[in-house]
Chain A
């Protein structure tokens, strides 16, 4: 290579390095580093047979390959599908039939749920639904508010501007302190937002029903029914509950 050619290549390499340095100074990588991923999830399922493992139960090691390909969001999606597969979309309190099932995990109370949700949000801290559905399930369905608060606390740390976490934290704290009226107030605020998961709506509807507030419960279930994005399971619950509530209200 002649001198001019060598100089050009050296100049280009320096230009690449300078550009990279300039961008790097302004670039904020929004994700937690790979060493914070949940690597030990497989321990939770060591007593299960291979055909009974949730999708991606090996977690961290598989998730790491997603990071290597620059696919954190998609890896978080797969991890989320595994949460749904493990826990189901089922609101336990909403369906007595489901509760009476001889479900393998019901006895263990979905022990790995917190870890599985943390796995998702550590892969993608902006996966808001994972925090909201996960903490809702833990606090209101499984009665493990401490674990729910841990998940929401992680959310507040990662995404301090997403204020809905605080709304949920408030509702859970009220529940812990037995201040159910205040808790209901916050849940009512929560279901007013279009991205509110159907599970939270069903929790509120069931609380209303238990308290004899049938008209309010009916309106929540109708909202679930009319929302195109609602999970089919909750639509099924709504379909089942609406006539019962109408009957109670003599409509």
Chain B
């Protein structure tokens, strides 16, 4: 079983690396990181902070675009080109196929993100980055950003199977990305609702939407410094549980599809 997952994963990584758009996005990421070094000069004494924030945000956004693009195409393209028949008729169970594809896509995206991180760290070191400038928070932020990417990938996979159009699934995924970051403000808006029935309904919605702020170390920064272990444990647990739910829903839809 594991052998099959690895094989499908390998095949996905190779296919992604051959994908021109994937390579263009990576190249674009490197250009953005390079230009962030120039932009940070405008921050004068805050150069390191600006370079760090801009770099981390660029890595996250570019990884988001790459992963959502790849995820929404992942199954749809194979169904359209009918190549999926070749795999599923060779005694590959649907869950194994889906896990392998997800793992392969995430591996290629994470590889790209690690390359961007290495370049960004180098830029920071060149600018005189020191441990006191939040080095541990920097790497934690990257790690948590990758958890966000895992979560949004599972959601993107679900939406790609839920809708038959790549564009629609991309819009859904992006909407959930924004909603997940706005969740804390959404909670604040719910607190202003006077009607108890409406408030209860919205509270239930609030609990079910993905909460990317639980993972947003990049933005919460020093405010999580005094509760790092619980922040990491809670965030990772949330990613696992939510990711598993999104994957299960995707698997359910995939099983229902007739090939």
> Which residues of A come within 8 Å of B, CB atoms?
1, 5, 8-9, 12-13, 15-17, 19-24, 26-31, 33-34, 67-74, 77, 80-81, 84-85, 89, 126, 129, 133, 197-198, 228-233
Contact = CB atoms under 8 A, between A and B. Distances in A.
18 contacts: A9-B249, A19-B237, A24-B211, A26-B230, A26-B234, A30-B220, A68-B182, A70-B180, A70-B212, A70-B216, A71-B219, A73-B53, A74-B57, A77-B43, A77-B53, A80-B46, A126-B221, A129-B45
Shortest 6 CB-CB contacts between residues of A and residues of B: A70-B181, A30-B223, A17-B207, A12-B245, A29-B184, A231-B44
B212 A77 contact: no
Contacts of B241: 12, 15-16, 19
Contacts of A71: 53, 57, 219
Contacts of A81: 42-43, 50
B208 interface: yes
B150 interface: no
Contacts of A29: 184, 213
Contacts, number: 119
A233 B44 CA distance: 9
B181 A69 contact: yes
A74 B221 CA distance: 11
Contacts of B128: 228-229
Interface string B22-49: 0000000000000000000011111111
B244 interface: yes
A28 B237 CA distance: 17
Contact of B46 (A16, A77, A126): A77
A73 B43 contact: no
A70 B213 contact: yes
A62 B185 CA distance: 16
Given A77-B43, A77-B53, A9 B234 contact: no
A44 B150 CA distance: 43
Nearest to B243: A16
A20 B252 contact: no
B133 to A, nearest CB: 10
Given A15-B241, A73-B53, A81-B50, A198 B221 contact: no
B207 A68 contact: no
A12 B245 CA distance: 6
Interface of B is mostly: helix
Interface in B191-228: 204, 207-208, 211-214, 216, 218-223
Contacts of B178: 68-69
Interface of A is mostly: helix
B188 interface: yes
Contacts of B170: none
A17 B204 contact: yes
A235 to B, nearest CB: 11
A68 B54 contact: no
A5 B252 contact: yes
A84 B44 contact: yes
A16 B216 contact: no
Given A24-B207, A129-B45, 19 more contacts: A9-B252, A13-B245, A16-B207, A19-B237, A23-B238, A26-B230, A30-B220, A33-B185, A67-B181, A67-B182, A70-B213, A72-B219, A77-B50, A84-B43, A85-B42, A129-B46, A197-B45, A229-B128, A231-B45
A81 B54 CA distance: 13
A5 B254 CA distance: 13
A17 B245 CA distance: 11
Contacts of B249: 9
A30 B226 CA distance: 12
B252 A68 contact: no
B230 to A, nearest CB: 7
B159 interface: no
B31 to A, nearest CB: 18
Nearest to B215: A70
Most B C-beta atoms less than 10 A away, residue of A23, A68, A80: A23
Most A C-beta atoms less than 10 A away, residue of B180, B213, B223: B223
